[in-house]
Amino acid sequence: MYPTLLLLHSWTRWLVLIFGLIAIFRAFSGWQNRRPYVGADNGMAASFVGSMHLQLLLGLILYFVSPVGAKAFETAGSAVMKDATGRFFAMEHLVMMILAVIIAQVGRIVSKKATDPVLKHKKAFIWFSVALVIVLLMIPWGIWNPERPLFRF
């Protein structure tokens, strides 16, 4: 179960990033060109937020089966928080990614509630961009945080 979840969680990151970039690009161009809010805008926003929820679900399960998630506290106790890699997976990644999912979801709601199409695009652009920046910062690319494979097989 652990290897399968890790594999899925690793690959779903690309869905989140691709859907996120397209949704943000569409929202920005729609806002700047004062374009109507069409089905494709709604579909891409739903795909981005949906992929974030899927990643959250996989991540939550992974957190309880992975040796670097909750189990790290059992094996290493409070020493986990003193080690940068341990702290990243046991705490920072989890907290910041949950925050990113909440921000993306709020963006989806406020954008849907707006009645003016330009405002719909603008709200989606701002909230989705903040969520995606957090996601980009908290993926373990190995730049400031631990390095994990880009493509896991």
The site for ligand HEM (CB under 6 A) is made up of 6, 9-10, 13, 16, 52, 55-56, 59-60, 62-63, 66, 68-69, 89, 93-94, 97-98, 100, 135, 139-140, 148-149, 152
Q: Is the dihedral of CA 117, 123, 128, 133 positive or negative?
A: positive
Cβ–Cβ under 8 Å, residues 2 and 68: no
CB of 152 to ligand HEM, least distance (A): 4
Please list, in sequence order, all residues whose beta carbon lies within 8 angstroms of the beta carbon of residue 145, skipping any fewer than 6 positions away.
84, 88, 92, 93, 138
Q: Between 79 and 95, whose beta carbon lies closer to ligand HEM?
A: 95
Cβ 120 to ligand HEM shortest distance, Å: 23
Compare residues 122 and 138 and give the one whose CB is closer to ligand HEM.
138
* 23 vs 62 by CB, closer to ligand HEM: 62
Supply the minimum distance, in Å, between the C-beta of residue 93 and ligand HEM.
Answer: 5
* Nearer to ligand HEM among residue 10 and residue 111 (C-beta): 10
In angstroms, the CA 17 to CA 52 distance is 9
Backbone angles phi, psi at 147, to 5 degrees: -95, 130
Nearer to ligand HEM, 30 or 51 (CB): 51
The CA distance from 104 to 90, in Å, is: 23
The size of the chain, in residues, is 153
CB atoms closer than 10 angstroms to residue 66: 18
Distance of alpha carbon 77 from alpha carbon 16, whole angstroms:
33
Report in angstroms how near the CB of residue 117 gets to ligand HEM at its nearest: 28
Q: How far is the CB of 39 from ligand HEM (least distance, A)?
A: 25
Q: Which residue's Cβ lies closest to ligand HEM?
A: 59
